[in-house]
Amino acid sequence: MTQDSYLKAALEGYAPAPFFFRQFHPDGDERWVSWTPKLGMLKETVYAILDSFPDDVEVLWKHYDNEDAEGDPEWIRFMGTVRSSALKDTIRRHESFVFQDASNCLCVKRIDTGEYFALDHKGPLYLYSDSDWVPQLLTRLGHENRIEKLITDAGHWTRTRPDNAETRQAIATELNLSKVQ
């Protein structure tokens, strides 16, 4: 795998064809889960979702430098309402960080419906919606509706970029996001 094509997390032998499925939580919550081992397809999916969102969206962007005693990230969070076009421009300028650095997680919410997606820091894409557009979009983009184990279900490696501190600040500044507790 070349430096240009790696994802946020890696597990030797883990390369299922692109898939998605509906995931149910014991507390009653549901979400769509999507995975692709192809960096280009992940980018295409995120941009297609953003293209379906309205002009203004709420962004929660978080990153971490440290982990707590249990190995969980200690997140630093930034929030704001931004133009969807500005968000896409910023993502394009910092694609290698947004899509390939495991120290960050991008969440984008539709203000009108409350639907949102999260590009997890380990690589899966989670979509919180009961609408039919989610499976239709993912199928159109080449994802197959089937249940698979996620990369996060087994021991895996995560990757970070050496320039992530500068990139983090640039993203927060470009989107005019405010740091929150």
Instruction: Locate the domains of the chain by residue range.
Output: 16-180
Tell me what pLDDT residue 11 has: 86
- pLDDT > 90? residue 6: no
SS3 of residue 151 by DSSP:
helix
Q: What is the mean pLDDT of residues 57-61?
A: 97
- pLDDT > 70? residue 39: yes
Query: pLDDT-based confidence at 7, cuts 50/70/90?
Result: confident
- pLDDT > 90? residue 181: no
Query: pLDDT-based confidence at 45, cuts 50/70/90?
Result: very high
Tell me what pLDDT residue 163 has: 67
High-pLDDT (> 90) share of the chain, %: 62
Query: pLDDT-based confidence at 114, cuts 50/70/90?
Result: very high
- pLDDT > 90? residue 144: yes
The strand pair at 19-24 and 30-35 is best described as: antiparallel
- In the structure encoding, which two tokens stand for residue 123, read together? 């690589």
Mean pLDDT score of the chain: 90
- pLDDT > 60? residue 1: no
* Residue 34 and residue 138 in contact, taking contact as beta carbons nearer than 8 Å: yes
In eight-state DSSP terms, residue 153 is G
**Residues 16, 135, 80: CA angle, nearest 5 degrees:** 95
- pLDDT > 70? residue 4: no
What span, in angstroms and rounded, lies between the C-alpha atoms of 168 and 163? 9
Tell me what pLDDT residue 158 has: 77
Q: How many CA atoms lie within 13 A of 73 on its CB side?
A: 15
User: Greater confidence, 22 or 130?
Assistant: 22
